[in-house]
Amino acid sequence: MILVLASEAVLFVLAVAGILAERPLPLAATGGVLAALALLLRFSPKLRGALVGAFTAHRTGALAGAAVFAVLLPFALRASPYWTFVATLALLYVTIGQGLNFQIGTAGLINLAGAAFAGLGGYTVGLLTVTGGWPAWLALPLGPVVAVAVGASLFVPILKTRGHYLALVTIAFVFIFNILMNNFEFTGGPQGIKNIPTLQVFGYAFTTRLTLFGVALPAHANFYFAALVVAGLTTAVIRRLHDSWLGLALNTLRDDEIAAKCSGVSITRAKLTAFSVGNFFIGLGGAFYALMVGFISPPDFDFGYSLIMLSVIIIGGVDSIPGVVLGACLLLPLPERFRFLHEYRLLLYGVVILVMLLYRPQGLWPAAVRRYR
């Protein structure tokens, strides 16, 4: 157990140091330590074995430890509202990623319109609050509901068609969505929707600066903690659905639809369920984003973002629930950290995906055998 907590602590410290270090020397030192650790793990099977053993034996403890460190993160980042924001964004991508992974990884449904479903969530929230005058907390759950409804109505006929057609249809949809949002008056056109009110729960506005345990945190920390709860719940729900009859049926129909059919699986129902569950969480991420940032516009939800969501899944590991968490935590902060790479961000994402697919298609944290815990 000590090994588990110690390694998590080391990772935490290194991550924070890597994020906050401004001057070259501390930055290089952090990088050096990370590289050294990576090499150590690579070439010492004993160490790897010990770590894997420790983490498997103390699974709940490891999760609890990770949760504690996740809660501690805003405290470590309290000097930087920007990085608190980035961390929150990573958590939103965890939520979205789990939904998308359920569709693509678990069920084999190639949904390239992730950005559109996130956009449906975001625009629903924006329209309900700004145009409709709804309070934010009421509009928030409706975002995912709209995403699910639109997804279901559009794709009920399409779900019966083969994989590459679904991909094509979803690409078409994300473009249609983008163009429509850009050209309709009521969605604000290219300007989008501004002044989305922030989340207010029982009179507490999420834009107030938070003070916990005597430590002053940036306002974004409110959203961070909320996003942490959402991401945590999403991951738990998805994992439970994955390790159930539904997940088994989806994996089977992904690998061999005919075998699934002849084993009694209703393909349409299973696919529709997976699609809807996925869209719910994708829409939830988008809705949350709208509340957090306060304004949305069509470029926030274009095809490029679908590809970013995709890369999160591929890097972590297709159909791998911990992989999504890893993918989001790696992919979101890194380009922010290395600002000079920002222009090359999408190019790098593309190259990384290609390299992963060619040399490690199972991802950095491959999906494990289902154990139904």
Partner 1 sequence: MTLLETRGLTVRFGGLVALDGVDLEVAEGETVGVIGPNGSGKTTLFNTLTGLYAPAAGAIAFRGRDLVGIEPHLIARLGIARTFQASRLCLGLSVFDNVLIGMHARRRTGLLDAVVRRPRLRAEIHEAIARASHFLGLFNADLVARGWERVGQLPQIDRRRVEICRALASVPQLLLLDEPSAGMNPEETAELMKDLQIVREEMPGLSIVIIEHDMFVIEGVSRRVAAFNYGRKIAEGPFAAVAAHEEVREAYLGKEGVRA
Partner 2 sequence: MPPIELLLQQAWNGLMLGAMYALIAVGFTLFFGVLDVIHFSHGDIFMLGAFAGLSVLAGLAAVGLAQPLVLLALAFVAAIVITGAVGVAAERACVKPLARSSPLMTLLATLSLGLVIREAVLIFYPRGADPKPFPRLLPSGGFEMGGVLIRYDNLIILAIGFAAMVAVDRIIKGTRMGAAIRAVAQDPEAAQMMGVNLGRTVDATFFLGSGLAAVAGILTGLYYSEVHFIMGITGGVIGFSAAAIGGLGNVYGAILGGLLFGVLQTTAAALIPRGSEFRDVVAFAVVMLFLVVRPSGILGEKSVERV
Burial class (CB in 10 A: 0-12, 13-18, 19+), 279: buried
> How many Å separate Cα 186 from the centre of its chain?
29
Exactly one of 81, 303, 334, 365 binds partner 2 (CB under 8 A); that residue is 303
Per rule CB under 8 A, is residue 267 in the interface with partner 2?
A: no
Residue 251 touches which of partner 1, partner 2, none (CB < 5 to 8 A by kind)?
Answer: partner 1
Residue 287 touches which of partner 2, partner 1, none (CB < 5 to 8 A by kind)?
Answer: none
Query: What is the Cβ-side half-sphere exposure of residue 6, based on CA atoms within 13 angstroms?
Result: 6
All residues at 6 or more sequence positions from 233 whose CB lies less than 8 Å from its CB, including other chains: none
Q: How far apart are CA 286 and CA 211, in angstroms?
A: 27
Per rule CB under 8 A, is residue 198 in the interface with partner 1?
A: no
Q: How far apart are CA 60 and CA 67, in angstroms?
A: 10
Per rule CB under 8 A, is residue 330 in the interface with partner 1?
A: no
What is the DSSP secondary structure assignment for residue 77, as one 8-state letter? T
Contact 326, 365 (CB under 8 A): yes
Exactly one of 23, 162, 339, 371 binds partner 1 (CB under 8 A); that residue is 371
The secondary structure of 48-60 as a DSSP string is: HHHHHHHHHHTHH
Q: Does the CA dihedral 198-80-340-39 come out positive or negative?
A: negative
Per rule CB under 8 A, is residue 340 in the interface with partner 2?
A: no
Exactly one of 37, 158, 330, 334 binds partner 2 (CB under 8 A); that residue is 158
CA distances from 246 to 220, 254, 362 (A): 37, 12, 22
| C-beta neighbour count of 298 within 10 angstroms | 22
Binders in 202-241 for partner 1, by CB under 8 A: 237, 240-241
Q: How far is the CB of 324 from partner 1 (least distance, A)?
A: 18
Residue 299 touches which of partner 1, partner 2, none (CB < 5 to 8 A by kind)?
Answer: none
Q: Residue 37 or 158: which CB sits closer to partner 2?
A: 158
What is the DSSP secondary structure assignment for residue 134, as one 8-state letter? -
Exactly one of 23, 46, 164, 373 binds partner 2 (CB under 8 A); that residue is 164
Exactly one of 191, 208, 211, 244 binds partner 1 (CB under 8 A); that residue is 244
Q: Residue 48 or 255: which CB sits closer to partner 2?
A: 255
Per rule CB under 8 A, is residue 84 in the interface with partner 1?
A: no
What is the binding site for partner 1 (CB under 8 A)?
237, 240-241, 243-246, 248-249, 251-252, 255-256, 258-267, 273, 369-373
Residues that bind partner 2 (CB under 8 A): 104, 108, 110, 112, 154, 157-158, 161-165, 167-169, 171-173, 175-176, 179-180, 183, 258, 303, 307, 310-311, 314, 318, 343-344, 346-347, 349-351, 353-354, 357-358, 361
